[in-house]
Amino acid sequence: SFRRKLDQLIHKSILKEKEKMKVTAILIALVGSAAAFAPAQEARSNTALNADLQGMSGATAPFKGFDPLGLATLGSDATFAWFRAAELKHGRVAMLATTGYIVQASGVHFPGMLSHDVSFESLSTMKPLDAWAAVPAEGQSQIIATILLAEIITEGKETHYTKGGELPTIVFPPIDFSKVDDETLTLKRSRELNNGRLAMIAIMSFVAEANIPGAVPALVNSPMF
């Protein structure tokens, strides 16, 4: 009797597994059928993106349309818009960071105390990561909260940039470009992107040299590091 019940349980388990395998096979077939039509759709998107590369902001000499990894054709139009927004944000932050590093390393700093035991002067003598670590937790929290607020404002627009909306603008100070003609606006945007790209390389070089002496040969023996 026990043997018969055991055999019945095993048989039921086998039937259930077969049913699961059938369902899985059907799902795989459906996914495969859908995927068969995906390349043609993606190709149309990539073609449209390639057509826009040469005439968009930031595509300037001497590396006009420079994209050796093909990132501009990776994904859809929404993916491309996300890449462009990320480049804008990182470029703006890098320009602020590069300017701040040069000013601080030159000995220019705010007067007075940041907190009861940390002065702005003492921070100006430290390496970037050490200076951040020396900022009290309350100050770090305020900086992070400000960054979060700016991110919410730029990402919380009614029409997101990945869905055809405007790319992120500078939150503070707000700048009105509504009266600027298209040609001038394109020129200004190209300058912003190119300066941001250079600043990203610059701040990475500054941080590398400050923490790993000799990492950037052009900066070796500089008093700023």
Q: pLDDT tens, 128-162?
A: 778 888 999 999 999 999 889 888 888 888 888 88
- Residue 195 neighbours by CB under 8 Å, 6+ apart: 91, 95
- Measured CA to CA, the distance from residue 65 to residue 78 in angstroms comes to 19
Q: Within 13 A of 92's CA, how many CA atoms are on the CB side?
A: 15
Q: pLDDT tens, 27-64?
A: 544 444 333 333 333 433 454 545 466 666 766 766 67
- Residue 113 neighbours by CB under 8 Å, 6+ apart: 119, 120
- Measured CA to CA, the distance from residue 219 to residue 29 in angstroms comes to 58
pTM over 0.85: no
Residue 199 confidence class, pLDDT cut points 50, 70, 90? very high
96/66: higher pLDDT: 96
